[in-house]
Homo-oligomer: A and B are copies of this chain.
Amino acid sequence: MTVTLADVAARAQVSPATVSRVLNGNYPVAASTRERVLKAVDELDYVLNGPASALAAATSDLVGILVNDIADPFFGIMASAIQGEIGGPGGRAGGERLAVVCNTGGSPERELTYLTLLQRQRAAAVVLTGGAIEDAPHKAATDAKLRKLADAGTRVVLCGRPQAPETGAVALTFDNRGGGQELTEHLIGLGHRRLGYIAGPLERTTTRHRLEGHRAALAAHGIGEDARWTVHGQYDRRSGYEATLELLRRDPTLTAVVAANDSVALGACAALRDSGLRIPDDVSVAGFDDLPFSIDVVPALTTVRLPLAEAGARAGRIAMGREEAPAGGIAVVRGELMVRGSVAGPRG
């Protein structure tokens, strides 16, 4: 039914071994023979059996990219950059690798299961993107899995995720804390003293780090914390909308709202507008990430730009062994404050 290596061999009048060598090109084969084989491959429309070759060679060309939410451009952009370097077909990489992105949906179980599936497929490399879950048992399980993958020869790279010591994984972490701090300092510098903060889900490292940065800035300027000023939610627009209404309810005198990311900030803007407040005249709004749309909303969003594409590309190269891992297995990627129209000094 399906064409196999043996069929090609028969047609080209050579042994299967020779065909395999022509296809893999890591063994001398006479030019004339190679040509004959290639011709047979073409005529028979032969397609290598991936599983069989992976089994025999004990390696596969699969590279896994784990993302928390593929519908979120934050991950889309990173995934795109990673995949661009992995080569996938057409990449300058040459060796054809199948870069696949796996959507965990932020669920620890799915993350673990995907990791197992990838391990099962003997993936050549795995890149995990975005914040990690801070649940201890889950972290232990994930780390153990990463360790096992690394031991089995799979290259593991963390992109935009904190380092996981002892796992053998290379980490490119974002300086969420520093970025958050810089952003809030900017607001404080403009005179804001009552700042609401819309944080992401509690158990994510990203959430915690950004919030810590925010608080560090407040503390540095002697601004006392008010528990009412922080609300947790998801990393999406709707959550930002609702959280903002809640914030306004708790303290209508806030002069600025800092959001955990740009999508949340968008929701915040909508909520403020719907509440009859002008941005930035009545309330300033800031986001995080600097996703493409952030410059297009009106007023344009003040935010912290994360070099998503650059970091992703680097992670991809490291995963392919095409770039050396940073010293100590970790590199911190800094964000850049983008000051735009959504922020101004407090009214009055």
Contact = CB atoms under 8 A, between A and B. Distances in A.
Contacts of A293: 237, 266, 293, 297
Interface stretch (A7-15, A92-100, A222-230): A92-100
A121 B98 contact: yes
A348 interface: no
A110 interface: yes
Interface of A: 2, 45, 47-52, 54-55, 60-61, 69-73, 75-77, 79-80, 83-84, 88-90, 96, 98-103, 105, 107, 109-110, 112-114, 116-122, 148, 152, 237, 263, 266-267, 269-270, 273, 292-293, 295-298
Contacts of A266: 293, 296
A51 B122 contact: yes
Nearest to A76: B71
A51 B269 contact: no
Contact of A76 (B70, B118, B298): B70
Contacts of A112: 89
Contact of A2 (B49, B117, B152, B298): B152
19 contacts: A2-B152, A50-B117, A52-B55, A70-B80, A71-B76, A71-B79, A89-B114, A89-B117, A98-B102, A98-B114, A98-B118, A263-B292, A266-B293, A267-B296, A270-B296, A293-B297, A296-B297, A297-B298, A298-B298
Most interface-central of A50, A113, A118 (chain B CB within 10 A): A50
Given A70-B101, A71-B79, A80-B105, 13 more contacts: A2-B152, A47-B119, A50-B117, A50-B121, A52-B55, A55-B55, A71-B76, A71-B77, A72-B73, A89-B110, A99-B102, A99-B103, A273-B298
B98 A70 contact: no
A89 B109 contact: yes
B116 A47 contact: yes
Contact of A103 (B45, B50, B83, B269): B83
Contact of A237 (B55, B72, B98, B292): B292
Lowest 7 CB-CB distances: which A-B pairs, in order?
A89-B113, A100-B100, A51-B54, A50-B120, A71-B80, A90-B110, A50-B121
A204 B261 CA distance: 34
Most interface-central of A71, A72, A77, A79 (chain B CB within 10 A): A71
Contact of A90 (B72, B77, B105): B105
Contacts of A61: 117
A269 B296 CA distance: 8
Contacts of A55: 49, 51-52, 55
Contacts of A49: 55, 120, 122
A101 B101 contact: yes
Contacts of A89: 109-110, 112-114, 116-117
Nearest to A75: B76
A15 B2 CA distance: 31
Nearest to A103: B83
Contacts of A270: 295-296
A96 to B, nearest CB: 7
A116 B265 CA distance: 42
